[in-house]
Structure 1
Amino acid sequence: MEENNRLKAGICCVDFTAGGKIVSVDDDFFGFTGYSRDYVLEKELTFYSLFEENEREKIEEYINSISDDNRAFCVRLPITARDGGSIFVHCCGIINDRSRVDVVFTNCSCHDRLENEYKKLTRKVAEQRDKLHMVAENTDDVYYDYDVKRDIMHLTVSITRFRLDYDNTLENFLGSRAAEEFLHPEDKDAYFDAWEEALQKPMKGTMEFRTKAYDDDYCWYSDAYISFADESGNVTEVFGRLSNIQKLKALATKSDSDTEYIKFLLQSDQLTGLYNRKGFTQQATNMLAKREKDMVYAIVYTDINEFSYVNENFGYETGNAMLRDYTACLRGGASFVIGCRLYSDFFICLCRANTRTALIRSVEQQNVRFTTMQKKKFPSGDIRIACGMYILPEGEIELNTAIDNANLARRSVKHSSSILCGIYSQRMRMQKLYEQSICNELHAAIKNRQIEMFLQPKFHLEKRVIIGAEALARWRNPNGTYKMPFEFIPVLEKVGYIDELDFFIYGEVLRTLEKWKHDGKRVFPVSVNFSQHHITQPNFVDNIICTANLYDVDRGDIEIEITESCFSGDTQALFSVMDKLRNEGFKVSIDDFGIGYSTLSVLMNAPVDIVKIDKSFIDNIEQNKNDRDFVANMCSLIDTANKDIIFEGVETDAQAAILCQSGYTKAQGWLFDKAMPLGDFEEKYMYDDNK
């Protein structure tokens, strides 16, 4: 236990015959109050003087009122420590000899915190009770809470034959056997036996009985309850829900066909008539245990793209009609065996066919039928099915695993309009495990500095001298090799962990710039990449600024690179971020310009300092005049917007010569140097006088 959470206590000896004079104190008392034995004797402190002035008279009256010996007393109030601070204490003692009473002072500084926690807990309990009442008011079920010690039953309804108090409580519930008056004679003994069992130990249970407490005639009710115990194991509370099961009981008395129908109701989705998850799992497991030889079976997992858009813009009835349409297409499929609506617009099916090819073709055809049907209803819409299939191997397989595999296949083609049905492969499972391992290892990799900052120099094309660098992330493996960015950055962007990586590299850049400055070396501008994910974060700019303020660096040497993919989102929000960064003195650049997310017209208005041209534009400029002319025209427009230009991926002298002849002077690429660890970069470009 931490030191500041330990209970602190001490003893002082008091003479109550001498006005409460403190005779002595022990070391523990001195430890948390600051009052030593010499100090209290020198200052002639009294027991009462320790407390706040407005409380002293009351305490003295209280102590004096204890006239008999062998009487205990207890006071819980703040005292004033020697340093002037206030300490909430619990002090107590037994008066055997009023001239010498040992008083134990216990530091209760946690009192306020406990009181606040108690208030929070009380509020949560009240909120839970309000929620319970809200649920009860909107259902036919009756909820109750039984206080065992007080024998009080609290109900969430007032419409009952029980004679309730104003707050829906019934006192002496079990003591008076209040329920007996309304119970069916045949159910009385079983009812009270069940209650007796519930009060023996904490448990969950269900009892069924007939009662007239809530209806004009006897009706069957199911009571699902749970009992709770205190630290001693004694049951103190029973919480339960009463559900009217009269209809279920009536149905249960009908023929075997009716019994099967009840079973179907409990296992089916009421909107589509398909199974629910529980029913599907049971039925599919039974069928697969008796699967036909020479038949190919598969689990198919589907959902309707843009279904939420239909609900929000056309109403839930239209959405429900669409779900029924899709159900009809499933049932009409040649390979359909049984289906399930999981929730919303998510479905799973068990399908079979003579061959794998026939099975896939059948599923694709049913999806096309549905898409065609919806196109006629919504000509301007693009309602499609995202579909994944897992071909079941021979032998036993855990059904939930098969469903997960089909879902992986669905997710792999979710955003593809050309693939009608994604087929599960082991690669998908390996990819998921790999992504999980990347996410699980990131924090440790940052902490253990396995994530390293590499720097790739930027050069002046004509002079061939270094003019800056770009910071890149590399992940060092235990064997000394490195994961390349494409192996982990897309995964981190997908799950949202990219923020931590980007800001770690940003911190490394700031630390490096400060070091160069303090070492008296030439400080080059360094660019650092930030993912599109940051743009939607409200504190992104503030975090950039606050982090920079921790270091002695010139903000003009920090170049914030934002990928061109950011332009696919809210450009106004993006421009606002760029403006704020530039106003704070940072340089802003667009990385990978030209890969398809933005247009020159958007770029012209973007508040950026530097445009980095993607290498794809210069790959063929040596052989293709059209490519050279296109680059020249594009860069001419960028020049008119007063934005600096740097070319990425320059790999040959011929490319560098063409760009140089066109008037462009800045580039980076393997022609000049590759990205390298910080130490290698400094040795090569910072501390070598020949460079």
Structure 2
Amino acid sequence: MSMTEQQTLIERVRGSGRSSDRLQRYLGVIQDLFANSTDMIWVTHGDRFIWSNAEAARQLGFDSPQQLVGLTPADISPERQPDGALSSVRALKEINCAHTHGQNRFEWCHSDRRGGIIPCEIIITAIPVVNDVVMLAVGRNLRMVKEVERRLELSQRLDPLTGLPNRRALMDEIEAQVADSGEISLVCIGLDQFNRVNEEFGFRSGDKVLNLVSQRLAKCLDKRGMLARFHGDTFMVLLTHCTVSEAVDRAGGLLEQLRRPFSLGGVSLGLQCSLGLSLLCEAKDSKTLLQHAEAAMFQAKRSGGNRLCCYSTRLAEQQAMERNLVNEIREALERQEFFLMYQPVFHLDSGVITGAEALLRWRHPMRGILSPDDFVDQAERNGQIVEIGRQVLEMACRQMKLWLDRGLPVSQMSVNISVSQIESGDLVEHLLATLKRHQVPPEMLEIEVTESMLAHQGEPMAAQLWKLRQAGVAVAIDDFGTGYSSFGRLKSLPVDRVKIDRSFVRELENDERNASIIQAIIALAHNLEMVVTAEGIETDYQYQFLLSHRCECGQGFLISAPVTPVRFEDLVRHHWKCLRRTINQTS
């Protein structure tokens, strides 16, 4: 529009000469104030621009401000705004709002002459001019602000380590899929005992492994799968448009891929993973779908790990029973419902009872007497085994003190120790304090640890065993032959006794290989100056075989099942009387 046409437009909208003079003065003030502003400035009358500053022309791609005069806001805007409204209709609505209230602030999208979108914050102020009103519009470019907001929003939805969608992004996608009533499944992937990778290789290497896992999983998925890092060492895969059988197959494929070794700095690293699968058809909403997937994953871990577990009603019932058992164990600890039975440990050559193994039982108010198989695994998983272990030590030391005071000829009490007690870090201090409180000499207590515990706990356990040994407490390896230890490993540990697992003794008469294994264990243990005890002796044949191969001690139903303290005392005194009678007869 030429200067002449601009002046004609201004004169037409001004009306009288007095009004025109005042408007000219107003535009002059505006130009002086805002000509060099970094914001876009316009003056409108009705729905058309009658003035613009140079910055508005520059940002919108015009050669000069005069080219904007006579245009409407809709002429420099996309056809529709982000809310879907027509720009021409909404522009009049916002101008009328400013006319009514004196000012209006809102967000708007302009478009430059190259087609680019410019997000803006617009402030329109109504300016009375004699008997008329013009609008002063200030537009602030929000491109930078919107980009920062976009990146911030993106960062809140991405895992900073792997670059994968995070928990928030995953939940939003699940919600969207559930709303669409899609055929979806959720796979929860937990890396088993991943903390050991961090402990052995360091946290940086642990982060590298997490990235390797995410990359391998991503390669297994197509457009029907969304991979997210949920937290720590847990990943989630959302599967869409899959039947139940397809979801199971795809989850199984993920497990197979994760079973392949990873290369970490030239080291081949094998990971074990537990996977849980849940289906939307068995969950009422996204929250339940997630809970089912996590529950199935934890069940896979409890079952030994490195496997896939699918959520089912049966699993839910089992977990409900487990939760109930946790509450019952807590109440049992408070009510002191746990008690000990004592199985005699006897000397094979003389038949004399020399010691006792303290065996835990639970006097359940509804279910009667329960053995450890009914509750110990659950107590281990929930950390309750530490407090149970404390009560066991307390009861065992108290009973040993009573026997000492009564002059019962028993040289040692054996107590089983759990992994959690070792990991708690205060086993040594608590055990020695308990012995001291009950005035029981440390050499009269023997702790039993399993062979698998030695293999998995490593140095932390070895350090605590040495402290106990130095204090005088004896150490025995229980269930030997069923784990992963070697006599080379035992040689470096403070072990006094090896207990041959009952599975070898039970099949002694039916399997010659068991006889060879027992002979080897006895011979090697003696070479390391360790005492050997055989568990589960039930027949005369087993007794005679072990005695003939120089096994020192045994326990089993042949002599006695676990018994009460009173019955144990009777058995000890009876066996000593028999020994004295035999000695007197031979002399």
The 5 Å alignment of 1:515-530 reads: 515-530=402-417
TM-fit CA distance, 1:424: 2.0
2:214 corresponds to: 323
Asked if structure 2 preserves the Cα contact closer than 8 Å seen for 1:457 and 1:673, the reply is yes
1:497 aligns with 2:387: no
Asked if structure 2 preserves the Cα contact closer than 8 Å seen for 1:451 and 1:476, the reply is yes
1:548 aligns with 2:435: yes
The alpha-carbon distance between structure 1 residues 676 and 287, as it changes in their structure 2 partners (threshold 3 A), is same
State the distance in 2 between where 1:311 and 1:584 align.
34
Which residue of 145, 148, 158 maps to 1:269?
158
1:26 corresponds to: none
SS at match of 2:452: helix
1:284 corresponds to: 174
1:662 corresponds to: 549
Asked if structure 2 preserves the Cα contact closer than 8 Å seen for 1:353 and 1:359, the reply is no
1:361 corresponds to: 249
SS at match of 1:512: helix
SS at match of 1:511: helix
2:296 corresponds to: 409
State the distance in 1 between where 2:297 and 2:438 align.
47
| Partner deviation per Cα, 1:548-579 (whole Å, 9 max, x = no partner) | 11123333322222222332145555444334
The one-letter code matched in structure 2 to 1:650 is I
TM-fit CA distance, 1:275: 5.1
1:94 corresponds to: none
The 5 Å alignment of 1:197-216 reads: none
The one-letter code matched in structure 2 to 1:360 is V
The one-letter code matched in structure 1 to 2:557 is W
The alpha-carbon distance between structure 1 residues 609 and 420, as it changes in their structure 2 partners (threshold 3 A), is closer
The one-letter code matched in structure 2 to 1:351 is L
2:237 corresponds to: 349
The alpha-carbon distance between structure 1 residues 327 and 591, as it changes in their structure 2 partners (threshold 3 A), is same
TM-align CA RMSD: 4.4
TM-fit CA distance, 1:455: 0.8
The alpha-carbon distance between structure 1 residues 572 and 286, as it changes in their structure 2 partners (threshold 3 A), is closer
2:5 corresponds to: none
2:66 corresponds to: none
State the distance in 1 between where 2:438 and 2:212 align.
61
1:620 corresponds to: 507
TM-fit CA distance, 1:443: 4.2
The one-letter code matched in structure 2 to 1:527 is S
Asked if structure 2 preserves the Cα contact closer than 8 Å seen for 1:560 and 1:587, the reply is yes
State the distance in 2 between where 1:384 and 1:447 align.
37
TM-fit CA distance, 1:413: 3.5
| Partner deviation per Cα, 1:79-100 (whole Å, 9 max, x = no partner) | xxxxxxxxxxxxxxxxxxxxxx
Asked if structure 1 preserves the Cα contact closer than 8 Å seen for 2:157 and 2:169, the reply is yes
TM-fit CA distance, 1:628: 1.6
State the distance in 1 between where 2:141 and 2:543 align.
83
Which residue of 359, 366, 374 maps to 1:487?
374
| Partner deviation per Cα, 1:585-640 (whole Å, 9 max, x = no partner) | 33322222222231012223432222211112222221333322331122112112
1:636 aligns with 2:523: yes
The 5 Å alignment of 1:249-260 reads: 250=146
The 5 Å alignment of 1:239-638 reads: 246=142, 250=146, 265=154, 268-269=157-158, 276-291=166-181, 297-303=184-190, 312-313=203-204, 320=211, 323=214, 326-332=217-223, 336=224, 338-344=226-232, 346-352=234-240, 355-366=243-254, 368=256, 380-382=268-270, 386-393=274-281, 397-414=284-301, 421-479=308-366, 481-569=368-456, 571-638=458-525
The alpha-carbon distance between structure 1 residues 382 and 464, as it changes in their structure 2 partners (threshold 3 A), is closer
TM-fit CA distance, 1:415: 9.0
SS at match of 1:671: coil
TM-fit CA distance, 1:410: 2.2
TM-fit CA distance, 1:301: 1.5
Q: Which has the higher helix share?
A: 2
State the distance in 1 between where 2:415 and 2:304 align.
35
Q: Which moved more, 1:487-496 or 1:567-576?
A: 567-576
TM-fit CA distance, 1:265: 4.5
SS at match of 1:549: helix
SS at match of 2:437: coil
The alpha-carbon distance between structure 1 residues 480 and 676, as it changes in their structure 2 partners (threshold 3 A), is farther
State the distance in 2 between where 1:641 and 1:661 align.
20
State the distance in 2 between where 1:342 and 1:616 align.
43
State the distance in 1 between where 2:518 and 2:474 align.
24
TM-fit CA distance, 1:645: 1.1
Asked if structure 2 preserves the Cα contact closer than 8 Å seen for 1:267 and 1:275, the reply is no
The alpha-carbon distance between structure 1 residues 483 and 426, as it changes in their structure 2 partners (threshold 3 A), is farther
State the distance in 2 between where 1:630 and 1:469 align.
26
SS at match of 2:414: strand
| Partner deviation per Cα, 1:8-59 (whole Å, 9 max, x = no partner) | xxxxxxxxxxxxxxxxxxxxxxxxxxxxxxxxxxxxxxxxxxxxxxxxxxxx
| Partner deviation per Cα, 1:360-383 (whole Å, 9 max, x = no partner) | 113333555677796699782335
State the distance in 2 between where 1:453 and 1:531 align.
16
| Partner deviation per Cα, 1:385-429 (whole Å, 9 max, x = no partner) | 5422013336x6132222122122223335999956332234443
| Partner deviation per Cα, 1:149-173 (whole Å, 9 max, x = no partner) | xxxxxxxxxxxxxxxxxxxxxxxxx
State the distance in 2 between where 1:660 and 1:406 align.
54
2:88 corresponds to: none
Asked if structure 1 preserves the Cα contact closer than 8 Å seen for 2:346 and 2:553, the reply is yes
SS at match of 2:359: strand
1:92 corresponds to: none
The one-letter code matched in structure 2 to 1:618 is V
TM-fit CA distance, 1:314: 5.2
State the distance in 2 between where 1:546 and 1:404 align.
43
The alpha-carbon distance between structure 1 residues 361 and 507, as it changes in their structure 2 partners (threshold 3 A), is same
The alpha-carbon distance between structure 1 residues 359 and 654, as it changes in their structure 2 partners (threshold 3 A), is same
Asked if structure 1 preserves the Cα contact closer than 8 Å seen for 2:275 and 2:300, the reply is yes
TM-fit CA distance, 1:273: 7.7
TM-fit CA distance, 1:512: 1.1
1:674 aligns with 2:585: no
SS at match of 2:246: helix
| Partner deviation per Cα, 1:341-363 (whole Å, 9 max, x = no partner) | 43455333332456422221133
| Partner deviation per Cα, 1:120-171 (whole Å, 9 max, x = no partner) | xxxxxxxxxxxxxxxxxxxxxxxxxxxxxxxxxxxxxxxxxxxxxxxxxxxx
State the distance in 1 between where 2:260 and 2:404 align.
66
Asked if structure 2 preserves the Cα contact closer than 8 Å seen for 1:649 and 1:670, the reply is yes
TM-score by length of 2: 0.64
The one-letter code matched in structure 2 to 1:659 is L
Which residue of 538, 558, 561 maps to 1:651?
538
Unaligned runs of 5+ in 2: 1-96, 108-119, 122-139, 579-587
The alpha-carbon distance between structure 1 residues 614 and 370, as it changes in their structure 2 partners (threshold 3 A), is closer
SS at match of 2:220: helix
Asked if structure 2 preserves the Cα contact closer than 8 Å seen for 1:329 and 1:370, the reply is no
Asked if structure 2 preserves the Cα contact closer than 8 Å seen for 1:474 and 1:483, the reply is yes
SS at match of 1:676: coil
The alpha-carbon distance between structure 1 residues 314 and 595, as it changes in their structure 2 partners (threshold 3 A), is closer
1:15 corresponds to: none
Asked if structure 1 preserves the Cα contact closer than 8 Å seen for 2:217 and 2:227, the reply is no
The one-letter code matched in structure 2 to 1:447 is E
State the distance in 1 between where 2:255 and 2:434 align.
52
2:7 corresponds to: none
TM-fit CA distance, 1:447: 3.4
SS at match of 1:269: coil
Identity %: 26
Unaligned runs of 5+ in 1: 1-185, 191-206, 210-218, 221-243, 253-258
